[in-house]
A and B are shown apart, each in its own frame.
Chain A
């Protein structure tokens, strides 16, 4: 109230019809917003790579022969794509899945517990990022034979 009544209110940037190139670089991204944006991006990635995911399912379960092709994709490659590239795409999918599932569980928790405070949003966003990126790093290291 007092702040509104004072004539010298701090000038804050106003965004209308956000332009991806002009506005987004200067746009403020609180961690909760970042997690939300990444939730959408990870979902989009998995949607676009859905045929690849089903190819992995198909080749891995159909027969011994196809299973060998499935394994070879990660070592010798697939068509003109080298094995490390397939591993990289798989790692991208692992991240997308982990981020999506943790951020989704965060949403479910908010729905059930009515946990909608600003502080909870920030803290749970940190937990989401640490968990999803941490497990992605662990599985990625395994995928690239680091341990």
Chain B
């Protein structure tokens, strides 16, 4: 990607938006793989899962690190998707900006909560 800031920034052309497009797909693939990891861990548990089994899945440090990465991927993925929805359907600039700010606040709050839960384990 060429200069993306200042007076010489690229605002048109075939590659504009490629980063969002790619980020959407990369984060999606990561989340699919994470889903499979959790699913496998649930399925290999013998007997009823219960609290011990379920919380135990997220307890190892590597799983916390992985889950943390997935939370970041999730937030990023949602941001790209929600921005797209607001850009497509909401025309008035003041309303669109307000909704985008709301999205950021909502996502930042949720991310903080999820990460806090993770490291209390």
A residues within 8 Å of B by Cβ?
40, 43-44, 46-47, 50-51, 54, 57-58, 60-64, 67, 101, 104-105, 107-108, 111
Chain B residue at minimum C-beta to C-beta distance from A71: B51
* B117 and A58 within 8 A (CB): yes
Query: Does more than half of chain A's interface fall in helix, strand or loop, or is it mixed?
Result: helix
Residues of A within 8 A of B109 (CB): 51
Give the CA-CA distance A105 to B28 in the complex, in Å. 9
Within 8 A of A (CB), among B18-75: 25, 28-29, 32, 35, 51, 54-55, 58
Give the CA-CA distance A61 to B109 in the complex, in Å. 19
B residues within 8 Å of A by Cβ?
25, 28-29, 32, 35, 51, 54-55, 58, 78, 81-82, 85, 103, 106-107, 109-110, 113-114, 117, 120-121
Give the CA-CA distance A47 to B100 in the complex, in Å. 13
* A62 and B54 within 8 A (CB): no
Chain A residue at minimum C-beta to C-beta distance from B84: A40
Query: Does more than half of chain B's interface fall in helix, strand or loop, or is it mixed?
Result: helix
Chain A residue at minimum C-beta to C-beta distance from B54: A60
Residues of B within 8 A of A111 (CB): 25
* A54 and B110 within 8 A (CB): yes
Give the CA-CA distance A80 to B85 in the complex, in Å. 33
* A57 and B25 within 8 A (CB): no
Give the CA-CA distance A107 to B21 in the complex, in Å. 11
* A101 and B117 within 8 A (CB): no
* A47 and B82 within 8 A (CB): yes
Residues of B within 8 A of A50 (CB): 78, 106-107, 110
Chain A residue at minimum C-beta to C-beta distance from B31: A101
Q: A104 and B114 in contact (CB under 8 A), knowing A43-B81, A61-B55?
A: no
Residues of B within 8 A of A44 (CB): 82, 85
Give the CA-CA distance A108 to B29 in the complex, in Å. 9
Give the CA-CA distance A108 to B26 in the complex, in Å. 10
Chain A residue at minimum C-beta to C-beta distance from B67: A57
Give the CA-CA distance A46 to B32 in the complex, in Å. 16
Chain A residue at minimum C-beta to C-beta distance from B77: A43
* B85 and A57 within 8 A (CB): no
Residues of B within 8 A of A64 (CB): 51
Give the CA-CA distance A104 to B78 in the complex, in Å. 13
Residues of A within 8 A of B103 (CB): 47
